[in-house]
Structure 1
Amino acid sequence: MKNYQGYLIDLDGTIYLGKEPIPAGKRFVEQLQQAKLPFLFVTNNTTKSPETVAHRLAKEFDIHVTPEKVYTASLATIDYMKDTNKGNKVFVIGESGLIDLILAAGFEWDEQTPDYVVVGLDSEVTYEKFVLATLAIQKGALFIGTNPDKNIPTERGLIPGAGALISLIETSTQTKPVFIGKPEAIIMNKAVSHLGLTKEQVIMVGDNYETDIQAGLKNGIDTLLVLSGFTPKTAVPDLPEAPTYVVDSLDEWVIHP
């Protein structure tokens, strides 16, 4: 087993499961803190700010980290737009965890001729928002999708995710978006950069083969699949490309300082 200098970690299904704590996840984070190893929670969720995520971790799961330890697809989107430097006008379909951060980063709201159209999860999306986004992209705005997740698992079942909303606009504009979140390269490259390490020095830890593990496999980063959430143990033998490591619980993983 390699000694990794930094960890990229998924949240739901890895550290907690919906509203239920995963005790091994809490112990895993505390071991990283004791070993003083850098880590970053990497999440496709754009509805919550890093401050909100950190507050929830503390209040609901007794896991205490600063907001700087949380890297969301919202932050990766902002970093991408700054790097692209196409302009500073933006129209967003999304919730406060996405919109507030983008505006706080210095971008200006423009529904008619934005430089970027950013689409994330929006539980109050309207047809008019889809119209504005479609027309803006037709006029030349860069179409950005925060993450490709088609569904979100909830207590009611699988409900539409950001990817479902993005698909509608992709159909109406005949334009493919630039995707930011896992398993895409943009969020992973930025996350590794935020740790100040190289891809060879870090490992991606998660429960979902399609997002977390593919994020590592597609981007040259070692992976640790933990069977505490989305991907069941029965699926492991038939995975098209094996993760670097597979564990039933994060308690099985040995952290070397």
Structure 2
Amino acid sequence: MLMALPIRIKLFSRHWPHDPEVRIIQKTKAMTKSIISDMDGVIYRGKALIPGANDFVQRLLKSNVPFLFLTNNAEQTPLDLKLKLEHLGIKGLTEDNFITSAMATAMFLKNQKENATVYVVGGGGLINELYNVGFSISESNPDYVVVGKTTSLSYEQLKKAVRLIDGGAKFIGTNPDMIDPVEGGNEPAAGTILAAIAAATGKTPYIVGKPNALMMTLATRKLGVHPDDAVMIGDRMDTDIVGGMEAGMTTVLVLSGVSTKESIKAFPYKPDHIFNNVGEIDPAVL
């Protein structure tokens, strides 16, 4: 009942700002706004924890704010990410606190075709998620070529992917990120591999991860909230912020990853809030 009242009042009452009941409802709604946060460039850079990240996560846990870490990283499983954060000093998380672009890609493809065959250019996390939904990995006339970031990319993999796509396999990308922030700088990401294959085949991949609203929809469904009641925190204007904005979320940019104050000016949209890092964020006031 309470969740519906602000909408009706905001639309139909001219006096709602002066109604004490409405102010109470609005405050309650704001305090319970769910958090969806990116990881790379927000919580860590490569193997280094970003200052304030642990304090931010502990605030989420202690306040019982519903939250998810939503990452375009398709190399690692939720268990891998949980263990990585524990190694970096962040305790108290479970595998249910994570959604990766590999998970989203697997769920998307399962809805398209049951028991499909796929050829994968990507890491173990992507292969694991595809196995989890019943797909077989094959180099012989697969239904899909699925491409994500991998640090073990070879020329033979690129050649095989190109020939399979030329032969009719559908071209799927986990995410469009061209670079990933790591300690000491940046490194090539999934988008660079996709660009090479796209150039060779003349085909454009369908990309499942951010900024595709599909990722945002999966996250809000998992939390059981409407996008209006969720905040997207990220370090990239071209994926996190535009994806959150188009999904109808409040958007927060942190300057600890890819985007900078100067680079923001190049985009025709802007985030709702900007912070140096997540340590400065109080979830209760977003």
TM-score scaled to structure 2, two decimals? 0.81
Once the two structures are superposed, the pairs formed by residues 74-85 of structure 1 within 5 Å of their partners are 74-85=102-113
What letter is aligned with 1:90?
A: V
**Alignment partners' CA distance in 2, 1:20 and 1:114:** 38
Task: Quickly say closer, same or farther: Cα 1:111–1:249, change in 2 above 3 A.
Answer: closer
Report what 2:22 is aligned to: none
The Cα shift of 1:253 comes to 3.0
Structure 1 residue 37 and structure 2 residue 46: aligned? no
1:59 aligns with 2:69: no
Offset from partner CA, 1:209-254 (integer Å, 9 cap, x none): 2221122123322101122332233445665312111223434433
Structure 1 residue 157 displacement after superposition: 4.5
Partners of 2:235 and 2:91 lie apart in 1 by 19
Q: Percent of pairs identical after alignment? A: 35
Question: Unaligned regions of 5+ residues in structure 1, if any?
Answer: none
Unaligned 5+ runs, structure 2:
1-26
CA distance in 2, matches of 1:39, 1:121: 25
For 2:183 and 2:283, how far apart are their aligned partners in 1?
Answer: 34
- 1:53-105 Cα shifts (integer Å, max 9, x gaps): 10010121333311111111110111111121265111101111111221233
1:162-201 equivalent positions in 2, closer than 5 A: 162-201=190-229
Q: Which one of 231, 245, 249 corresponds to residue 221 of structure 1? A: 249
Alpha-carbon distance in structure 2 between the residues aligned to 1:236 and 1:63 = 33
Q: Deviations over 1:160-212 (max 9, x none)?
A: 22111111211222111111111122222212222121111111011222221
Amino acid at match of 2:141: T
The match for 1:106 is: 134
Equivalence for 1:250: 278
CA contact (8 A) 1:4 1:203 kept: no
Q: Secondary structure at the match of 1:152?
A: strand
Residue equivalent to 2:124 = 96
1:127 alignment partner in structure 2: 155
- Name the aligned partner's letter for residue 221 of structure 1: M
Give the SS at the match of 1:102.
helix
Give the superposition deviation at 1:145: 0.5
Question: TM-score scaled to structure 1, two decimals?
Answer: 0.90
Match status 1:11 vs 2:22: no
1:130–1:102 distance in 2 versus 1, CA, 3 Å:
same
Q: After superposition, where does 1:142-181 map in structure 2 within 5 Å? A: 142-155=170-183, 157-181=185-209
What secondary structure is seen at the aligned counterpart in 1 of 2:181? Answer: strand
Greater alpha carbon shift after TM alignment, 100-109 vs 38-47: 100-109
Aligned residues: 257
Whether contact under 8 Å (2:42, 2:254) holds in the other structure is yes
Letter paired with 1:132: K
Alignment equivalent of 1:46, drawn from 59, 62, 74? 74
